[in-house]
Amino acid sequence: MRLISATVKNYRLHKEFMIDFDPEMTVIVGPNETGKSTLIEAIHSGLFLKARAGGQALSRIRSKLYPGHPEVTVCFEAKGKRCEVTKIFRGQSGTALVKMEGSSYSGDEAEYILGELLGETPVGGKAASRLNLRWNHLWVWQGQGGKYPGRAVEERNEVLIRRLQQEQGAIIQQSEKDAAVADYFRKEYSRFFTDKGQISKKKGNELYEKKQRLEKLEALVEEARARVDRLEAARGEYLRALKEKEEKGKELEKTQLELQQVVKKLAECEELSKQADEHKKQFEELKAEKAALERVQEEITALKREIKEMVQGLGPMEKGLQELEAAIASKQKSLDRLRSSHQNEVRKRLQAAETELELLSLCREALRADTEITRLEKKIERVEDLEGQLKNIERRITELPKVTEAQRERILQLSSDIKSAEARLDALSARIEVSESELAVQVDGRPVPVGGHVTVRRTCEVTVGESTRITVTPGGGTSLEDAASKLDRLEEDLQGLLRQIGVDSVEQALSAYEAAREERGRLEAVKTRLDELNGKELRHSLESARKIRDEAESKIQRLSSKAEGWVRPSDLVEISDRISKAEARVKELKNEEEAILKEANNLHEELEADRQRREETQREIRQIQEALTEARAKLSVKQEEAGDDKKRGDRLIELGQQMEKERLIIDAIERKIAEHEPERLKLSREKYKKAEERLSSEIRQAREDMLRAETLLEFDGSLDPQAELDERMAAAEQARREYEAVYRRANAIRRVHELFLEERQRLADRYSKPLSQKISDYARVIFGSLSRVDTRLSENSLHSITLFHHKFGDTEFDFEALSGGAKEQLAAAVRLAVAEILAQEHDGCLPVVFDDSFTNSDRDRLQSIQDMLFKASKRGLQIIVLSSSPEDYGTMPGRVVRMEPPVVGMQADMTKGLSFGHSDGHDDGLEIDAVSAFSGNREGLAAYANLPQDQERFLALLKNMGGSSGNKALMERLGWDQARYEETKSRLLSMGLIRTGHGPGGSVSVV
């Protein structure tokens, strides 16, 4: 199948666009948004979208710029025929028309024929969404260049495998029955297992269900078994408890018997012990009686001794008492004597001496006070004189006019100011002097005597006599007036001040001031003297002195009346003398008194001590006499009670005998008790009691256990647990058998299925090889001649595409591990290889469209990519490349179609695509100078033009030379230098178009 031309109308942004395809290679270039992809998509739609397709498929292709329905006409060759298909897309009324060898087909028939010719049917309706999958192995949509091509290839696996098988010739092919049986086992397998080989949990999976059932039943068995076991255990437990109860019961009986015996023996011991106690009591009573009797005996003896001792002790005590009485009487007499002499004599004398002394002291005091009074009175006189002076001065000061310091200053100032004002006035005023006149001269009415003068300060009138009047006006104008008024003012002030003070003149004021000052000075002097004398204190002292004298005098009066023969001394000397004498006498008498008192005290103390002793002795004697009386009474009582000495002695002997008897009885009983070993018996009793308790509790426990077991054994009887267990076990066993049967069958199926897979893969591997070979052919152009590609093709997939890159030491690269660029290149190689194989079903040609499919590839690689595409075109494929960068494909042989952005509203004929070169007649291949096809676009790119051209020439010449030639001969025929020849040769070698051979200098031949 080969595209010839196409016309697109009203298709999205295309108003109308017509394109002719080169039979081998067409490059459509143009900037983005020029409609390259749309154009190629429109052609795809023309081939594979049903004309009646509607919905999204239709709305997508409708033009929003131009009215009219989308219309696509594609002209192509297929199955040896030239066809033209025209589709107008307008939903249900869309039309499809196929013209072929003079016949026309329309509608569904046209679509059918198209499908037959292309090998894949057009889609419409709901299937329209699958449109992009049509020929997606040949049509590399924009953005799909680097995608794993396996999916696209897998859909064509069947044809691909068939073609590969045919290529391989006698290869073994699976039969239809093979396929059917394998498929049957695959399906059977998937009934039981997941893709990963696990047991599938799908509903209806017998294996899974059986397994589930088995597990469930086994769980049920366990449950039932547990129930039965519980019952069984309960029975065992019941029996155990029963046995325990019985055994313990027997033990208990035995224990109780033992206990009874022990208790009985203990009771006997108790009885004996009571008897012993009785006897012990009697013994104790006897003992007590005896002891009492003995005690009485002792008491009587003691009493007797005591009385004797007391009687003996009384004699000396009474004698001592008599002596003491005598001593007391004598001492009392001495003391009385002492006391009377002191009072009568010494005391009187001492008092008289003391009185005299006191009187003398008073006299001295009175005398001294008199002296003081006299002195003070004189001083007070002086004070009173000064006080009179002070009063005078003060009166004088009061009488003087009062001029303050400030007033004085002011007066002086005003006087001075007046003087200067007068001087000034004088200077200005006129002097009227009467030198000689017969007439009375008056100035302003005041007469001025001859020789006198008047000073006038203002206009005045001088009258001389009666008739002469002269007006005198002093000079100076107003200043005279001013000076006069100032003076007046000053004088007025002064006069005011003087008036205020109360004087008439300045002199008065000043002298008053001076006088006052002097007086004040005197006053201060007097005050100072007064202060020195301190009159107040003087008067006070005088008062005190007088009081002292008066008091002393009154005392003297009082005392002197008592003193006989008292003569008042006259002066101080006498007083002093007499005082000294009196003092000595008082001292002497006091000593004397003290000695007497001391003696009396001593005597008194002795006397007191003797009296104390006497009392003590008297008390002791009294006590002894009382004790003696008591002891005698006691003795008589005791003797009365206990009988006489004989009777007591007999009783004591009797008591001793009785006690011995009781002691013997007690010993006998205690021996008997000891024989019973009561302590051991008590221990035994404890032991048996404990055992009894323990056993009883154990029996109780056993009874409880029995009850519990019985409760467990009781059940409602609605079902038989044993039967249930049996049934469940059998059911589980059955389920297990069933599971095993299914398990075996499932595994048998798995076994067969896996063998089918293995064997089929083995077959598949055989045709994977030629496919890998073909892909490698293309890949080597890019990745180097030593690289290779491995791929595994099986019935329903293209497993792994692996690149062995020679550059990296034959390293293995999985497709997905490659770089973006390498992916694009390898994917292109796979597509080209597959297309080449599939082309055999399509007259040896298929178009392969690359829409901007190498965007990730380096510029350096683009040359190799172009070589690969060129190689594909040489192998019969029609290559169509869309690119937005024309320079990338500058060196590509083939037709270049340049697209410009469409202009809205342009005439249809003007939007016709610019196409270059020829549109047909390319059949003779190598004879064509491919470069000519690019003439319109190749300027400036000439430097890159050589290579493909060189390759063409190389191949053409080699073919003309019979397909092979020696290197040297060929190089000479081409007329190239060594480098150019080798370069071209290596490129062709890498493309696999030529191969090297032997011979002198080496040879090349066409593949």
Partner 1 sequence: MPISVKRWYMEGIMRFIHTADWQIGKPFGSIEDEEARALLRRQRIESIKAISDAAEAHAASFVVVAGDLFDSNTPDTSTVSQLCAAVGKIPVPVFVIPGNHDDGGPGSIYGRQFFLEQQGKHAPNMKILLEPEPVETDHAVILPAPCIFGARQANPLRWLYRQGAFDDLPIHKPRIVLAHGSVTGFDGTEGSDYLIDLELLDFDQVDFVALGDWHGTKKITEKCWYSGTHEPDRFPRSDGYSAGNVLLVETERGALPNVTRIETGRLFWHRREIHIGEKADVDNLKEQIGRLTSNRVGRDLIRLQLKGTVSLSVGTYLEQVLETVGSELLYLRLRNEIQIVPDEVELQKLMHGSDPLIARVATRLTEQLSASGHDDEREVSEALRLLYHACQGGMN
Which stretch in 247-255, 476-484, 741-749, 890-898 sits in contact with partner 1 by CB under 8 A?
741-749
Q: Does 185 bind partner 1 (CB under 8 A)?
A: yes
Report the residue number, 424 or 753, with the smaller CB distance to partner 1. Answer: 753
Q: Beta-carbon neighbour count of residue 634 at 10 Å?
A: 16
Q: Which residue, 231 or 945, has its beta carbon nearer to partner 1? A: 231
* Residue closer to partner 1 (CB basis): 99 or 235: 235
Q: Does 713 bind partner 1 (CB under 8 A)?
A: yes
SS (H, E, C) 345-386: HHHHHHHHHHHHHHHHHHHHHHHHHHHHHHHHHHHHHHHHHH
Nearer to partner 1, 227 or 968 (CB): 227
Does 174 interact with partner 1 (rule: CB under 8 A)? yes
Residue nearer to partner 1 on the CB measure, 581 or 760: 760
Interacting span for partner 1 (CB under 8 A) from 199-207, 618-626, 642-650, 718-726:
718-726
Does position 724 bind partner 1 by CB under 8 A? yes
Q: Which amino acid is at 984?
A: T
Q: 3-state DSSP call for residue 237?
A: helix
Q: Is 568 in the site for partner 1 (CB under 8 A)?
A: no
Tokens representing 754 are: 């896996």
Q: Which of 782, 870, 880, 773 is nearest to 824 (CA)?
A: 782
Residue 639 in tokens: 């003797």
Q: How far is CA 972 from the centre of its chain?
A: 91
**Dihedral sign from CA coordinates of 611, 615, 617, 618:** positive
Nearer to partner 1, 293 or 752 (CB): 752
Question: Given the complex with partner 1, which of 575 and 749 has the nearer CB atom?
Answer: 749
Exactly one of 40, 182, 300, 589 binds partner 1 (CB under 8 A); that residue is 182
Tell me if 283 contacts partner 1 by CB under 8 A.
no
Please report, as residue ranges, which positions from 745 to 774 form the binding site for partner 1 (by CB under 8 A): 745, 747-749, 751-752, 755-756, 758-760, 762-763
Q: Interface with partner 1 includes 459 (CB under 8 A)?
A: no
Residues ≥6 apart with Cβ < 8 Å to 115:
121, 122
User: Which residue, 220 or 665, is less far from partner 1 as judged by CB?
Assistant: 220
CB 200 within 8 A of CB 194: yes
Among 302, 723, 906, 908, binds partner 1 (CB under 8 A): 723
Q: Is position 239 an interface residue for partner 1 (rule: CB under 8 A)?
A: yes
Task: Give the one residue of 48, 189, 238, 767 binding partner 1; rule: CB under 8 A.
Answer: 238
- CA–CA separation, 790 and 822 (whole Å): 15
Q: Which of 172, 572, 664, 942 binds partner 1 (CB under 8 A)?
A: 172
Residue with tokens 């000073």: 455
- The kind and range of the H/E element at 70 are none
682-701 footprint of partner 1 as x/- string (CB under 8 A): --------------------
128 vs 66: CA distance, rounded Å: 24
- Secondary structure of 641-701 in the HEC alphabet? HHCCHHHHHHHHHHHHHHHHHHHHHHHHHHHHHHHHCHHHHHHHHHHHHHHHHHHHHHHHH
Residue closer to partner 1 by CB (options 721, 992) is 721
We find the least distance from the C-beta atom of residue 695 to partner 1, in angstroms, to be 22
Q: Output the smallest distance, CB 74 to partner 1, in A.
A: 42
Q: H-type helices in 714-849, by residue range? A: 721-783, 820-838
Query: For residue 665, with 0-12 CB atoms within 10 Å meaning exposed, 13-18 middle and 19 or more buried, which class applies?
Result: middle
The secondary structure of residue 466, as a DSSP letter, is T
Q: Is 216 in the site for partner 1 (CB under 8 A)?
A: no
Minimum distance of partner 1 from residue 175's CB (angstroms):
4
- Contact yes or no for 894/916 (Cβ under 8 A): no
Q: At how many degrees (to 10) do helices 405-428 and 506-533 cross?
A: 160
CB of 155 to partner 1, least distance (A): 23
Note whether 715 binds partner 1 by CB under 8 A: yes
- Which of 59, 104, 129, 173 contacts partner 1 by CB under 8 A? 173
Residue 138 — φ and ψ, nearest 5°? -105, -20
Q: Which two tokens stand for residue 568?
A: 């008042």
Q: Applying CB under 8 A, does 80 fall inside the site for partner 1? A: no
User: Of 95-103, 702-710, 856-864, 889-897, which segment contacts partner 1 by CB under 8 A?
Assistant: 702-710
SS3 at position 971: helix
Q: What tokens does 67 get?
A: 């009215």
Q: Is 729 in the site for partner 1 (CB under 8 A)?
A: yes
> Which of 306, 710, 790, 887 is close enough to bind partner 1 by CB under 8 A?
710
Q: Residue numbers of the site for partner 1 (CB under 8 A)? A: 172-175, 177-182, 184-185, 231, 234-235, 238-239, 242-243, 706, 709-710, 713-724, 726-731, 733-734, 744-745, 747-749, 751-752, 755-756, 758-760, 762-763
